[in-house]
Structure 1
Amino acid sequence: MQGRMMTWVCYAAGYVFITSGIMKLVVHDFRAMFAGLGLPFPEVTLLLIAVLEVSCGMLIAGRMYTKQAATPLIFIMIGAILITKVPIISSNGLLSFAFEARLDIIMLILLLLIYKYIPSKNH
């Protein structure tokens, strides 16, 4: 892919993960949501995911260590889709799932593109 376009992809993906991670740290509603998911140690899991999103988002936006930064975010997105979005299929149907999972799927695709096509600046 062309360099300038992939630079903007990195900026966009970095922006989404940085803001998402910050929101998880400052909005208390996320604690209740994570507790309701049945995850072990929900507050620790929330903190870990938030810190990973902010730090890896910053690395991706800066085009530094992109493969290493994209990897945990890919796993986070897969987990988010499996834990929070796939159950929607059985309760509300495929169309509702497609609507609710649209951002998660797009971010997963962008992360896979970043992983494959962006050379890392390993400083």
Structure 2
Amino acid sequence: MISALRYFISKQPVVFGICVAASLFTLFFAVQFLAHFIWMQDPANRDQSLEGWMRPRYVAMSWHVPPDVVREALELGPPPKERGREPLTMADIAVAQGVSLEQLTARVALAAEAFRTRHDR
């Protein structure tokens, strides 16, 4: 096995480098996927009360509803098309609408419950 690896490295160093890079790339994204999957499967991370740092996309993942449901509940327009634009946080949305985070949480909870009853979840 070692002699075959040495032969491959000496005869095809570019191909070997590409294989190593592709393996590391795949490993990185597999670890990211597993970390995200484990985090979202924890019951403590489901249906969280809104906090100022949260963004609408995170809220949608936490509540297990499509992002459009959260956008409608928060009375946001369509998502911005610009790639460089920083998304709003829940604190930004609460200040802009003049409501508290608890009121936003109640809106999201109602919208999520309505979505779940419509889709039998």
TM-score by length of 2: 0.29
Q: Say which one has the larger Rg.
A: 2
Q: Hey, which of these two has a bigger chunk of helix by percent?
A: 1
Give the TM-score normalised by the residue count of structure 1: 0.29
